[in-house]
Amino acid sequence: MSWKDNLIKIEPYVAGEQPNKTDFIKLNANENPYPPAPGVIRAIEQFRGGSLKKYPDANAKPLADALAKRFGLNRENVFLGNGSDDVLALCFRAFFNSDKPVIYPDITYSFYPVWCDMLRIPYETIPVDESFNINAADYKRSNGGVVIANPNAPTSIGRGLDFMREILDANPDSVVISDEAYVDFGGTSAVPLLKEYENLVVVQTFSKSRSMAGMRIGYALGNSEIISALYAAKDSYNSYPLDSVAIAAGVASVEDEEYFTATIKRVMATRERLTNELRGMGFDVADSSTNFLFAEHSTYRAKDIQEYLKTRDIYVRYFSKKRIDNRLRITIGTDEEIDALIAALRDYIR
Ligand code: PMP
pLDDT tens figures, 4-15: 999 999 999 888
The topology under which CATH files domain 53-255 is Aspartate Aminotransferase; domain 2 (3.40.640)
Distance separating alpha carbons of residues 208 and 85, to the nearest angstrom: 13
Q: By the 8 A CB rule, do 81 and 90 touch?
A: yes
For the CA of 208, the nearest atom of ligand 1: 15
User: What region, left, alpha or beta, does residue 42 occupy, with left being phi > 0 and alpha being psi -120 to 50 degrees?
Assistant: alpha
Percentage, residues of the chain above pLDDT 70: 100
Q: What's the CA-to-centroid distance between 350 and ligand 1, angstroms?
A: 35
User: Ligand 1: does its nearest atom lie under 6 Å from the Cβ of 179?
Assistant: yes
**Residue 22 — pLDDT band, cuts 50, 70, 90?**
confident
| Residue 61 phi, psi (nearest 5) | -55, -45
**pLDDT score, position 305:** 98
**pLDDT score, position 14:** 86
- Any idea where the domains of the chain sit in the sequence? 17-36+258-349, 53-255
Q: What's the CA-to-centroid distance between 32 and ligand 1, angstroms?
A: 13
Pairing label, strands 292-297, 283-285:
antiparallel
Give me the mean pLDDT over the 189-197 stretch: 98
- CA-nearest residue for atom 6, ligand 1, is 181
Give me the mean pLDDT over the 314-323 stretch: 95
Distance separating alpha carbons of residues 245 and 49, to the nearest angstrom: 9
User: Ligand 1: does its nearest atom lie under 6 Å from the Cβ of 180?
Assistant: no
Give me the mean pLDDT over the 85-102 stretch: 98
- In three-state secondary structure terms, 205 is strand
**pLDDT score, position 239:** 87
Q: By the 8 A CB rule, do 201 and 178 touch?
A: yes
Distance separating alpha carbons of residues 341 and 329, to the nearest angstrom: 13
Please indicate, yes or no, whether the overall pTM of this predicted structure exceeds 0.85: yes
- The architecture in CATH of the region 17-36+258-349 reads Alpha-Beta Complex (3.90)
| Residue 129 phi, psi (nearest 5) | -75, -175
Give me the mean pLDDT over the 22-51 stretch: 97
Q: What's the CA-to-centroid distance between 299 and ligand 1, angstroms?
A: 31
**Residue 164 — pLDDT band, cuts 50, 70, 90?**
very high
**pLDDT score, position 181:** 98
**Residue 142 — pLDDT band, cuts 50, 70, 90?**
very high
Q: By the 8 A CB rule, do 89 and 230 touch?
A: no
Distance separating alpha carbons of residues 196 and 170, to the nearest angstrom: 14
**Residue 240 — pLDDT band, cuts 50, 70, 90?**
confident
Q: Is the peptide bond before 151 cis (omega within 30 degrees of 0)?
A: yes
Q: Compute the radius of gyration of the chain from its Cα atoms.
A: 20
Q: What's the CA-to-centroid distance between 243 and ligand 1, angstroms?
A: 19
Q: What's the CA-to-centroid distance between 3 and ligand 1, angstroms?
A: 34
- CA-nearest residue for atom 2, ligand 1, is 181
Mean pLDDT of the chain: 97
Return the H-helix or E-strand segment holding 198.
none
Give me the mean pLDDT over the 226-242 stretch: 94
Res 350 pLDDT > 90? no
User: Ligand 1: does its nearest atom lie under 6 Å from the Cβ of 275?
Assistant: no
Q: Which of 30, 80, 104, 111 for a ligand 1 pocket mutation test, highest count of atoms within 8 Å of Cβ?
A: 111
Distance separating alpha carbons of residues 283 and 341, to the nearest angstrom: 14
**pLDDT score, position 192:** 98
User: Ligand 1: does its nearest atom lie under 6 Å from the Cβ of 205?
Assistant: yes
Q: By the 8 A CB rule, do 305 and 282 touch?
A: no
Distance separating alpha carbons of residues 78 and 299, to the nearest angstrom: 47
Q: What's the CA-to-centroid distance between 110 and ligand 1, angstroms?
A: 10
Least confident range of 76-85, 202-211, 233-242? 233-242
Name, in order, each residue with C-beta under 8 angstroms of 261's C-beta and a sequence gap of 6 or more: none
What does the chain come to in residues?
350
Res 242 pLDDT > 90? yes
Distance separating alpha carbons of residues 127 and 138, to the nearest angstrom: 9
**pLDDT score, position 245:** 98
User: Ligand 1: does its nearest atom lie under 6 Å from the Cβ of 187?
Assistant: no
| Residue 198 phi, psi (nearest 5) | -75, -10
Q: Is the peptide bond before 154 cis (omega within 30 degrees of 0)?
A: yes
Q: What's the CA-to-centroid distance between 84 and ligand 1, angstroms?
A: 6
Percentage, residues of the chain above pLDDT 90: 94
Q: What's the CA-to-centroid distance between 349 and ligand 1, angstroms?
A: 32
**pLDDT score, position 19:** 85
Q: Which of 85, 108, 319 for a ligand 1 pocket mutation test, highest count of atoms within 8 Å of Cβ?
A: 85
User: Ligand 1: does its nearest atom lie under 6 Å from the Cβ of 184?
Assistant: no
Least confident range of 13-17, 38-42, 105-109? 13-17
Least confident range of 14-23, 147-156, 184-193, 222-231? 14-23
**pLDDT score, position 248:** 98
Helices 335-348 + 257-280 axis angle, to 10 = 10
For the CA of 15, the nearest atom of ligand 1: 8
Q: Which of 84, 159, 180 for a ligand 1 pocket mutation test, highest count of atoms within 8 Å of Cβ?
A: 84
For the CA of 217, the nearest atom of ligand 1: 16
Q: What's the CA-to-centroid distance between 83 and ligand 1, angstroms?
A: 7
Q: By the 8 A CB rule, do 151 and 179 touch?
A: no
Distance separating alpha carbons of residues 58 and 276, to the nearest angstrom: 47
Which is nearest to 52 in space by CA: 238, 212, 243? 243
